[in-house]
């Protein structure tokens, strides 16, 4: 009879990787919160940042845990690390460029007089187009062409990169 050991090589690598990722995320959260405090001087905004950053870490495991147990932990760790990197890159860009205006076709258009300001006009609903993708400016015009996520050619990211290339080629 063979005994299934818990501390296999793969489990050890994933555990160490998770720990390093957690330490990095914690340090990044702390650093960014200090930047928020430094820029704004507001302890209230400092606290709001911490709540917004920590709340998903408390709530999501309760909601997503049963589903994530059925997925590859390795793939999930990579996905979450890339998502965090994208969020940090976007936050760095906002810190660098400041408060840029939102394109008018994405601005709120539910109130009277919004059409006169051009708000919401020209918006293209992606689900009305093939592959649920349409060429449209989503970032502020000053950031036109900026990419925050660039899938590599490794593993599942190669599939993502090929999928994005294919739908962008056929986009209107």
Does one domain contain both 28 and 15?
Answer: yes
Last residue of a domain, one of 45, 72, 99: 99
pLDDT in tens, 73-113: 777 777 777 777 777 788 788 878 878 888 998 988 888 88
Last residue of a domain, one of 99, 125, 149: 99
What's the pTM? Answer: 0.53
What percent of the chain has pLDDT above 70?
95
**Is 70 exceeded by the pLDDT of residue 6?**
no
Burial 71-93 (b: 16+ CB within 10 A, else e): eeeeeeebeebbeeeeebeeeee
Q: For the chain, what is the domain count?
A: 2
Does one domain contain both 95 and 115?
Answer: no
Does one domain contain both 50 and 114?
Answer: no
Domain extent for 156:
101-172
Last residue of a domain, one of 81, 99, 117: 99
Does one domain contain both 92 and 28?
Answer: yes
- pLDDT, averaged across the chain: 82
């Amino acid at each position: 009879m063979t005994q299934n050991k818990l501390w296999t090589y793969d489990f050890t690598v994933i555990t160490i990787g998770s720990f390093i990722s957690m330490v990095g995320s914690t340090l990044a959260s702390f650093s960014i919160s200090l930047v928020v405090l430094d820029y704004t001087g507001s302890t209230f905004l400092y606290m709001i940042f911490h709540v917004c950053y920590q709340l998903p870490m408390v709530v999501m495991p309760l909601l997503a845990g049963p589903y994530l147990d059925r997925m590859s932990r390795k793939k999930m760790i990579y996905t979450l690390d890339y998502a965090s990197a994208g969020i940090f890159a976007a936050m760095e860009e906002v810190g660098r460029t400041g408060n840029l205006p939102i394109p008018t076709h994405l601005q709120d258009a539910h109130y009277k007089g919004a059409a006169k300001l051009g708000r919401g006009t020209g918006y293209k609903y992606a689900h009305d187009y093939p592959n649920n993708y349409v060429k449209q400016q989503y970032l502020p015009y000053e950031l036109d062409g900026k990419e925050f996520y660039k899938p590599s050619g490794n593993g599942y990211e190669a599939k993502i990169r090929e999928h994005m290339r294919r739908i962008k080629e056929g986009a209107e």
